[in-house]
Amino acid sequence: MKLSEVASLIGGKLHGEGSFEISGIGKIETARAGEITFISNPAYEKFFSATNAGAVVVSKKFNPAKYKRLDGREVPLIRVEDPYLAFLNLLERFSPKTELQKIGIEQSAVISETAEISAEEIRIGANCFIGEKVKIGKRVSILPNTVLLAGAEVADDVLIYPNVTVYPGCKIGNRVIIHSSTVIGSDGFGQAKNPDGTFQKIPQKGIVVIEDDVEIGSNCSIDRATMGETIIRKGVKLDNHIQIAHNVEIGENTIIAAQTGIAGSTKIGKNCMIGGKVGIVGHIQICDDVIITAASNVSKSITKPGVYSGYRAQPQMSELKQEAMIRNLTRKKE
């Protein structure tokens, strides 16, 4: 693809020779002569002086004069509003999706006679188990060793990677991606203490509902509700190794990084960003548009949008001021 065509594809303004042929994409540190790369994070601007890339997608504010090229070459630039989003479009263009497996049902798959499976572009891999009264929509890919237990519902355009288990009654919406070894609908952690000190299991009779356009990483556990529903709303993106307890609700377009744990009956709002290794206690509410930084612990409800951090999460500026005061006390003692 010619560089001028690339610029047109991503809606950018080209600075340089448009007839140059782009054969692929690459990281700015390792891109080859025929490849295009991008700079979104200012921390990577330093690589501009030495990159071998044939062209670079940059922001409208990027100033190449700050970085003298070691070889004296003028690297063609494509200026866009958001280099990261623009480069995502190029990833789709230069790295087309590959078919995960052939259309059809592998002979070793076990499928209940009462399961309802639409016939259009269905892929069910080897050793999958589809239980009683499971409903599977059109254009669904279920890779090997996946288990869908009785009454689970999978809508259209869903991709389920190997070794995923979906428990009875759980519902999965359209355009959902679930990565390997994730469990949807395992029992919530409900235990009642008896007078003699032993524990009695509280029956977990609810389900998990995953709405449209959700992606769930590998090795996540999303527990079924004690009663009612554990709900993952539309557009939520979950990283790997996340625990979501019974009756939790996560609002639309919220994104959560790895190793986060959310205790039971907590409600998280829309458009939130939760960093890695965050712990959130149960039975609280977090409002819309909240950012919680990595390794923070949330012990009470958050009612105002903003950035929160700390061992007991609080507005980040307050937490930073307290940390600075503690450091100053140490210096005074010295």
**In which order are the strands placed within the sheet that holds 229-232?**
116-117, 135-136, 153-154, 171-172, 207-210, 229-232, 249-250, 267-268, 285-286
Among the listed residues 15, 179, 241, 246, the single catalytic one is: 246
Strands 165-166 vs 243-244: parallel, antiparallel or unpaired: unpaired
The single residue listed with the structure tokens 């279920």 is 142
**Cα angle 175-181-182, degrees, rounded to a multiple of 5:** 55
* Measured CA distances, 41 to 33, 58, 69, 305 (Å): 22, 10, 19, 25
Fill in the DSSP letter of residue 91: H
CA distance 314 to 318: 7
Q: Which of 293, 12, 53 is nearest to 44 (CA)?
A: 53
Q: Supply 215's token pair.
A: 């992606």
Known catalytic membership, residue 246: yes
CA distance 332 to 189: 48
The residues assigned a catalytic role are: 246
